[in-house]
Amino acid sequence: MRLRFAPVTVPALFATLLLAAVLVLAACGGAASAGPSGGGSGGAGPASGQTLTAGVSTFVGPTTFSIHAGQSITLVDPSASGGIHNIVTGTGGLFSPETGAPTQIAAASGLDIQPGSTVVLTFTQPGTYHITCTIHPPMQATVTVS
Ligand SMILES: [Cu+2]
């Protein structure tokens, strides 16, 4: 009995482990490339439809956002209608450090973004965060994280 089981059981176990590995890899790959298309049902992960869009010298569309800790805002700089921006925390084009802000925009050097680029900003700490562009002071957005 045991001798007959072994050749069947080991490959079955291997297949199960292989399937689990494939599923884990697929989940990781999907999270890295899929962006903010899914989710939205609360909790961690990207917030559905929370996109901050840059134009030539302004933000276009929504500039106030309410998300939960662990969720993200997707900063999009469209290739056809965007511009070169330097995104930081602060207001009126002036950098101001805000504790808990995403690391990409938390330093005075800021986040350089070129047309055609998309950057995911993940907010892990509750609070109110202000986003501006050091090149274009009118570019201002607010993210409230609860
Ligand atoms: Cu700008």
Residue 41 has pLDDT above 50, yes or no: no
pLDDT > 90: what percent of the chain?
66
Has residue 41 been placed in a domain?
no
**Domain assignment of residue 111, yes or no:** yes
Say yes or no: 20 and 86 in one domain. no
Residues 6+ apart with CB under 8 A from 22: none
Task: Provide mean pLDDT across the span 22-49.
Answer: 44
123: containing domain: 46-145
pLDDT tens string 75-93: 999 999 999 999 999 999 9
Distance of CA 61 from the midpoint of ligand 1 (Å): 15
Q: Are residues 54 and 115 in the same domain?
A: yes
Coil, strand, or helix at residue 91?
A: strand
CA–CA distance, 98 with 125 (Å, rounded to integer): 11
pTM of the model: 0.69
**Do residues 50 and 17 share a domain?**
no
- 126 and 59, same structural domain? yes
**Residue 59: pLDDT over 60:** yes
Question: How far does the centroid of ligand 1 lie from the alpha carbon of residue 93, in Å?
Answer: 9
- Which residues are placed with Cβ below 5 angstroms of ligand 1, an ion? 85, 133, 135-136, 139
CATH number at residue 85: 2.60.40.420
Domains: count for the chain:
2
